[in-house]
Structure 1
Amino acid sequence: MHARAVAATTTALLGTAALLLPASDVRAVETGEPPTVIAHRGASAYAPENTLAAIDKAARLGIRWVENDVQRTRDGRLVVIHDDNLRRTTDVEEVFPDRAPWKVKDFTAAEIARLDAGSWFGPSYAGARVPTLAQYMRRVEHNHQKLLLEIKNPELYPGIEQQTLKVLANEGWLDRSHLSQRLVVQSFSVDTVRTVHELKPGVRTGLLGTPNVADLPAYARFTDQINPSHSTISAGYVAAVHAFTGAHGRPLAVSTWTVNDARTARKVAGYGVDGIITNTPDVVRDAVQGP
């Protein structure tokens, strides 16, 4: 109860203080730097989401951070895809018409590798594939990019946290330089974020959603970021999150999603967010960084 009372008081005080400042000045007071721009599922407004083409497009736009989603196949391979169903972003209904409901967990990695994951987006991307996590990591490394990796639907894939960390280790992403500067693992699942931290304490983690400020003292023991939808936050909420110290001794950070227009980008930047996750990273970058 004491922690909740402290958190509630903090929220009230910081919310009031933040509202006394013009929105555009809130973040400037804290760091003087614009928020980091993170390409959501790659530059997914311009190339099919979660494909190698999407992170290549982000790289060509000069975007250093990309976000992706990880799920698991029937034979235990990790693949990069957002939905737990293959229908929306592949031609699975044509290739495997008798395999409804076309869940990722019901197909082998070899079967998924046969699918076209680009034609739905546009003919120029015909033949794009659903990458394995290992393939994806190698392209991110090749592009000298940084990664915000989301473990999707962990309740469907027992042990996916440990398996994800194993792939990251095999690809060289758990050394000091990657851990300190280039990798964050996030999830909507509190249990998954906690598990990742317990298995590999050096990994920076993020909790997706907009938790009550009263719950932040507990979450701050095993996470470094609180990553909410932009429609759920205010300057006061962001300031309240920043008041807590995360698992690696720094203030809890905030990366908000999914912001695709300049006006909203400037608005959340004014709230003081640390990162903006977007399908249109060039638009957001230009809005928050200026000429």
Structure 2
Amino acid sequence: MHARAVAASTTALLGTAALLLPLSPARATDTGAPPVVIAHRGASAYAPENTLAAVDRAAALGIDWVENDVQRTKDGELVVLHDDSLQRTTDVEEVFPGRAPWKVKDFTAAEIARLDAGSWFDPAYTGTRVPTLEQFVDRVEQNRQKLLLEIKNPQLYPGIEQETLKLLGNEGWLDRRHLEGRLVVQSFSADSVRTVHALKPAVKTGFLGTPPVADLPAYAAFTDQINPSHGSLSAGYVTAVHALDGAHGKPLEVLTWTVNDAAAARRVAGFGVDGIITNTPDVVRDAVGG
């Protein structure tokens, strides 16, 4: 996730939000528990981001929740990658030198599967591949972890919400066990979050950004979380979010990102956030007592 200003749509919203399932993680302010720790793009301080290696590293650290980013290839495959270009985190310039600017949407899944997505991070990870979403959720399931899935750049991929939900359903991630506490779908796009809620009201959703307090009731009609950058956060804002019930009739939650040091983790925990998204999940967990 980029710490940038996000223009959120506040157009006509769904009138009635279906309310089927309890929410998870439970609010720290209600339970007295520390914030839930979520490994950002996997344990991305220690392994290449958004790869199976990063998922496994989070599992080895004892971290239950992992976050990822989903985009779509030229031939319609969902892959796990943060940037809309392959340039930063793969060797695409070497493998396909004549195809700048190397956008994900301009490459087939087979072409992306040829790329090295690990050596940029550390030579020890040479040969690591960009995972498909199917491979990613299968690994999260294998590790008995939980998934905070971000639909990235939905404006580039019309229909990606429905395709993502279809894949999650095919992989068994839309059953009661997963919906009750193992899956959240989020986006910087309010329209995308609204679409997910309309297509599958049972799915817990999150909006990435810091909407004005006056606009929060509109967001509460279709989302369960407001997930701001930690630099935009205050105790008063967290309290204002918690004062409203979200789409599933439970108080809105706050997950904040991207917090990578102990002091910042303790600061936002003091605000009463429900979760902290971090590249260094062990550092944050130790800081907040998780």
- Give your verdict on TM over 0.5: yes
Q: RMSD between aligned alpha carbons? A: 1.0
Partner of 2:212: 212
Conserved 8 A contact 2:226-2:255: yes
Partner of 1:271: 271
- Offset of 1:259 from its aligned partner? 0.2
- Offset of 1:31 from its aligned partner? 3.0
Partner of 2:152: 152
Partner of 1:194: 194
Structure 2 residue 287 is matched with structure 1 residue 287: yes
Residue identity opposite 1:97 in structure 2:
P
Residue identity opposite 2:211 in structure 1:
P
3-state SS, counterpart of residue 169 of structure 1: helix
* d(CA) in 1 for partners of 2:249, 2:269: 23
- Offset of 1:235 from its aligned partner? 0.4
* d(CA) in 2 for partners of 1:96, 1:154: 25
CA offsets, 1:216-266, max 9 Å, x none? 111111100000000001000000000000011110000000000000000
Conserved 8 A contact 1:30-1:272: no
* d(CA) in 2 for partners of 1:163, 1:63: 28
Conserved 8 A contact 1:74-1:107: yes
3-state SS, counterpart of residue 45 of structure 1: coil
More helix by share: 1
Partner of 2:16: none
1:95–1:28 CA distance, 2 compared to 1 (3 A): closer
Q: How does 1:1-291 map to 2 (within 5 A)?
A: 30-289=30-289
3-state SS, counterpart of residue 185 of structure 1: strand
* d(CA) in 1 for partners of 2:148, 2:214: 26
CA offsets, 1:15-57, max 9 Å, x none? xxxxxxxxxxxx9764311000000000000000000000000
* d(CA) in 2 for partners of 1:105, 1:30: 43
* d(CA) in 2 for partners of 1:180, 1:223: 15
3-state SS, counterpart of residue 117 of structure 1: coil
3-state SS, counterpart of residue 62 of structure 1: coil
* d(CA) in 2 for partners of 1:63, 1:140: 11
Q: Is there any run of 5+ residues in structure 1 with no aligned partner, and where?
A: 1-26
CA offsets, 1:52-77, max 9 Å, x none? 00000000000000000000000000
Conserved 8 A contact 1:43-1:57: yes
* d(CA) in 1 for partners of 2:46, 2:227: 24
Q: Is there any run of 5+ residues in structure 2 with no aligned partner, and where?
A: 1-26
Conserved 8 A contact 2:242-2:253: yes
3-state SS, counterpart of residue 181 of structure 1: coil
* d(CA) in 1 for partners of 2:31, 2:151: 30
Q: List structure 1 segments (4+ residues) > 2 angstroms apart after TM superposition.
A: 27-31
3-state SS, counterpart of residue 150 of structure 1: strand
1:59–1:116 CA distance, 2 compared to 1 (3 A): same
1:78–1:98 CA distance, 2 compared to 1 (3 A): same
Query: Of the two, which has the highest radius of gyration?
Result: 1
% identity of equivalent residues: 80
